[in-house]
Amino acid sequence: MVTKEEAVQLLQDMIQINTENDNEEELARYIQEFLTAHGIESELVEFAPKRASLVAEISNGPGKKLGLTGHLDVVSAGNAEDWTYSPFSGFVDENKILWGRGASDMKSGLAALVLAMVALHESQDYSGTIRLLATVGEEVGEYGSKQLTKLGYVDDLDGMLIGEPCNIGIIYAHKGSLNYKVTSKGTAAHSSMPELGNNAIEHLNHAMLKISEAIAQETTKHTDPELGQTFHNITVVTGGQQVNSIPDWASFEANARTIPAYDNQDVIRTVKYVIEELNEQEGFDLNLEVTADQKPVVSDKHSPLIQSILKVQQQFPSLQVPAQLKQMEEVLGGDLSGQNDLPSTLVPLAVSGTTDAAQFTQSKKTFDVAVYGPGIPMLNHKIDERLPVDQYWDFIAIYQAILSDYLS
């Protein structure tokens, strides 16, 4: 059995391996060596140079097959000088708070899943199969989960537990995420002679207005009882090169958070329709590029996997929602009672954020999905990301119990 000190060291080592949107192979090899030392075989699945996912499996006779997944990459740490402690130190302070990029999102969740798998391999307190899927590129593109799904690694699963930071709820459904870019081409000219040019920014502005109006009209027609409505935001606008020149190029990028009734393909069709209509008008030359396409996920909130989590969680007082909220308040130094959207007990949740489930659920077989893991979601992607060591340790224990119960 791994000690608490060894578990903390594992997480510290993982944080000290910089995987900012890249370099996941180094971390995958580190985890592979750790698993090998505990008698578990694994394989690297290369995505690109220096980028590889990791797949490991243990079995104990016939039974259900459960996938455990977490991503190896983290988002940029930004300016390291803005951090209280170095973002890749994994420093543990006097209050037993562990600091670093990935402490919450989500190297703690991945480490806890790995340690729970090792513990069950040693105890044999389960039946069936446990398969670990540690993925590359979740933060930008969900590349690893998409690749592993295409290669058939999840086609035989009965359930999947995702260790993303969600310590006060169990996510069973989330919106999809669609990123797209529209480019407007024009003709450059001196700003004193605009009649000789074709202003790409003016045409782009018109396109932004028309596309936003068209999508807004469609979203009001479709409401999901769990996820609400699709929403759409233009988030990046660029164009022009010089203040006294008519711009010959401009673009905007947008993100839509989608529901099954008005999903990614529906949004794309709306954008294409508007662009095609505008391109028939004089001066318009608009092009569409889809840059990310992550489908909405809706699983059964009464599934056996979620029921196992709800049942087992009752045995862990420190992981009850009031205790977790108090712990987060201590770390954040603020009162969370004023936030009306926070649950008071552990319940299944539908959220707007996306996970690797968007790719994994495109497999040939439908399976239970649950997102439940250590972390402080309010600190995800932020400077001074951190996590209480006790919460991480508690999740190692509850993961063992969940796996045993679900696979019993």
CB 383 within 8 A of CB 78: yes
As beta bridge partners, residue 51 has 48
**Where are the extended beta strands (E) located within 84-141?**
97-99, 128-135
Give me the catalytic one of 25, 138, 139, 385: 138
Residue 6: CA atoms inside 13 Å, Cβ hemisphere, count? 9
Question: Active-site residue 73, yes or no?
Answer: yes
8 A C-beta contact, residue 159 and residue 369: yes
Residue 169, burial from CB neighbour count under 10 angstroms (0-12, 13-18, 19+): buried
Residue of 73, 158, 164, 263 marked catalytic: 73
Instruction: For residues 58 and 39, give the distance between their C-alpha atoms in angstroms, rounded to a whole number.
Output: 10
Is residue 138 part of the annotated active site? The answer reads yes
Amino acid occupying residue 111: A
SS3 category, 171: strand
Cα separation of 168 and 13, whole Å? 27
- CA 349, chain centre distance (Å): 15
Q: Which residue has the tokens 């995958």?
A: 28
Spatial separation of the C-alpha atoms in residues 321 and 312, rounded to whole Å: 14
Give me the active site residues, please: 73, 138
